[in-house]
Amino acid sequence: MGRRNRQISKHLGHVLLACFALNALGFLASAAILESSQRGIGTDADLLVQNSAPSVAYLSAMRTHVWRLQTLVSLAVRKGTSGPTREMMQTSRSRLGDAWNRYMELPPFADEQPLQRRMQTALAEVESSLDAVDARLQTGDLDGASALLDGQLQPSVSSLDEELSAGIEFHRLTGRVLAQQIASTRSQAGSRAVLLIMGGLVFAGAAALVAILIVRQNARLLEAQVDELGQFAGRVAHDIRSPLTAIGLVLERTVARMGGDPELRRLLDRGTSSVRRIQAMLGGLLEFAKAGAQPEPGVHCELANTVAAVLDELEPVARERGVELRAERTSGIELAASAGVVMSLLSNLVNNAIKYMGEVPVRRVTVRARVRDHMARIEVADTGRGVASEVMGRVFEPYVRGVRATEPGHGLGLATVRRLVEAHGGSVGVQSHEGEGALFWVELPCDGKPAGPSLWMARWGRRALAH
């Protein structure tokens, strides 16, 4: 049955992967179509704005200047040439030539070159007629100038005006075609994008349905595994607690029957206490595991007693390494977690602080706590060498250790701390500057009130944003 369920999950996974692949392909195709359409629209828009519209403006300006020239020449012929009129004629001729040069600098459209050649020929005839009339005016031959005005200049101006009008009409029609192409491209791109988006929604819906089926299938498998894990945890608890109980009884009877050696009695008492704490820690962790990695409702412990037990347990190790252990402001705080779980995470934090103290003159580890909004913040601060910058952001991940770590270990202690704390709706963190000590902190619900789902999600969201 389990093998069949795993095969079903595998097939569903393949279907889900196919849906995601098709959805991704649809997205890429939609992006490609939109990109191609944008390029086409951009090209047509550039032609419209940077070529067709300026061409209309330059050709219109040429019509204005050429008719103004004809008017000025007629005035000069009737009244005789004069300085101001001649200067205005030269200015208009200069502006006419400038407008033509600017127009010719633009890249021509298809079929525009024949029109440009006709306009250039007509412009040359106007220029030639202007030069001829101006020469007669310079010699005072007004009758000759008038004859050239009527017989040569006016016809050439009319011819140029017709060619310029044809050029303006050409670019007007070209601009209309470009605008229609832009509208058509935009409409087609929108229709194709809508179709691809609808297809993507269909595949996304199919993927969501398959994902729901996979989750349900895996939930059934996980439920079966959890049942097996609970049974296994019970067997482990029985197998480990039995020898611990036997050791504890042996130690208690030895204390009862021993002589009056105070040092030996102290050592045996410490061994008995250690066995009891290990039993409490083991019991809390196994209960936590059997509860599906969630704290049991109503479970709680007194922080000060738990901290005292942990420091008492680690005091010989600290004394051997010359480290002072302190506890501050831990009394009067009830945590919504079992004593075994709290002992486990505190033991990891304090033991790490002792192990990685390094060669520093002041050697101290301090455990302190404060309460805010039904959450207890427990801090373990040390005066050691601090956390290396290269592992600061990953220090709570499994198998992560400092590059200069020489102490034995597998890098699982802090990962276990985070797992236990977050399962209780709390959070973890570290503050450290290399060479200036470290402060590891955990937040756990207190006052016997476990953090509810909304508070847990809010804290999880803040942690996600911080990362």
Residue 465 is predicted with a pLDDT of 36
Q: Is the pLDDT of residue 220 over 70?
A: no
d(CA 412, CA 395): 10
- Burial (CB < 10 A; 0-12, 13-18, 19+), residue 317, is middle
Q: Is the pLDDT of residue 125 over 50?
A: yes
Q: Is the pLDDT of residue 124 over 80?
A: yes
- Burial (CB < 10 A; 0-12, 13-18, 19+), residue 40, is middle
Binned at pLDDT 50, 70 and 90, residue 242 comes out as low
Q: Are 398 and 404 in contact (CB under 8 A)?
A: no
Q: How many CB atoms lie within 10 A of CB 98?
A: 14
Higher pLDDT, 237 or 155: 155
Binned at pLDDT 50, 70 and 90, residue 121 comes out as very high
* Mean pLDDT value across residues 349-375: 92
Q: Radius of gyration (Cα) for the chain, nearest Å?
A: 46
316 CA to centre of own chain: 49
d(CA 293, CA 144): 113
Binned at pLDDT 50, 70 and 90, residue 300 comes out as confident
- Smallest CA-to-CA distance from 203 within 34, 10, 14, 25 is with 25
Q: Is the pLDDT of residue 322 over 80?
A: yes
Tell if the pTM clears 0.85, that is, is over it.
no
In 3-state terms, what secondary structure has residue 430?
strand
Residue 278 is predicted with a pLDDT of 67
Q: Are 284 and 293 in contact (CB under 8 A)?
A: no
Q: Are 380 and 440 in contact (CB under 8 A)?
A: yes
* Mean pLDDT value across residues 186-196: 70
Find the helix or strand (DSSP H, E) in which 438 lies: strand 438-445
Q: Are 360 and 383 in contact (CB under 8 A)?
A: yes
Residue 2 is predicted with a pLDDT of 45
Tokens at 86, concatenated = 């001649």
Q: How far is CA 69 from CA 73, 85, 149, 285, 430, in A?
A: 6, 10, 11, 103, 85
> Packing angle between helix 2-47 and helix 154-257, nearest 10 degrees?
150
Q: Provide the residue type at 212 as one letter.
A: I
Q: Is the pLDDT of residue 454 over 80?
A: no
**Which of 1-15, 261-275, 370-384, 389-403 holds the top average pLDDT?**
370-384
Q: Is the pLDDT of residue 89 over 80?
A: yes
**Look-up of token digits 């009008």:** 165
Beta pairing, strands 334-335 & 375-382? unpaired
In 3-state terms, what secondary structure has residue 382?
strand
Residue 109 is predicted with a pLDDT of 86
In degrees, rounded to 5, the angle at the alpha carbon of residue 238 between the alpha carbons of residues 237 and 243 is 100
Q: Are 441 and 430 in contact (CB under 8 A)?
A: yes
Q: Is the pLDDT of residue 463 over 50?
A: no
Q: Are 397 and 415 in contact (CB under 8 A)?
A: yes
Binned at pLDDT 50, 70 and 90, residue 123 comes out as very high
Binned at pLDDT 50, 70 and 90, residue 244 comes out as low
* Mean pLDDT value across residues 120-129: 92
In 3-state terms, what secondary structure has residue 8?
helix
DSSP code, position 446: B
Q: Are 398 and 412 in contact (CB under 8 A)?
A: yes
Q: Out of 66-70, 369-373, 395-399, which region has the weakest mean confidence (pLDDT)?
A: 395-399
Tokens at 162, concatenated = 């017709």
Q: Is the pLDDT of residue 1 over 70?
A: no
Q: Is the pLDDT of residue 452 over 50?
A: no
* Mean pLDDT value across residues 345-353: 91
Tokens at 404, concatenated = 């200069």
d(CA 312, CA 325): 9
d(CA 348, CA 412): 9
pLDDT in tens, 145-180: 889 888 998 999 999 999 999 989 988 888 888 888
Q: Out of 118-127, 216-225, 327-336, which region has the weakest mean confidence (pLDDT)?
A: 216-225
* Mean pLDDT value across residues 10-38: 64
* Mean pLDDT value across residues 94-115: 89
Binned at pLDDT 50, 70 and 90, residue 24 comes out as low
Residue 393 is predicted with a pLDDT of 84
Q: What share of the chain has pLDDT > 90, as a percent?
A: 22
Q: Is the pLDDT of residue 464 over 50?
A: no
**Which of 23-27, 163-167, 287-291, 385-389 holds the top average pLDDT?**
163-167
32 CA to centre of own chain: 23
Residues in the chain: 467
**Look-up of token digits 């809010």:** 458
pLDDT in tens, 389-441: 888 888 888 777 665 555 655 567 788 888 889 888 899 999 988 888 999 99
Residue 326 is predicted with a pLDDT of 94
- Smallest CA-to-CA distance from 340 within 280, 386, 293 is with 280
Tokens at 266, concatenated = 């102290």
Whole-number mean pLDDT of the chain? 77
Residue ranges and CATH numbers for the domains of the chain are: 2-208 (1.20.120.1730), 297-466 (3.30.565.10)
pLDDT in tens, 420-433: 898 888 999 999 88
Residue 350 is predicted with a pLDDT of 94
Beta pairing, strands 427-432 & 438-445? antiparallel
DSSP code, position 329: S
* Mean pLDDT value across residues 293-304: 80
In degrees, rounded to 5, the angle at the alpha carbon of residue 338 between the alpha carbons of residues 336 and 340 is 145
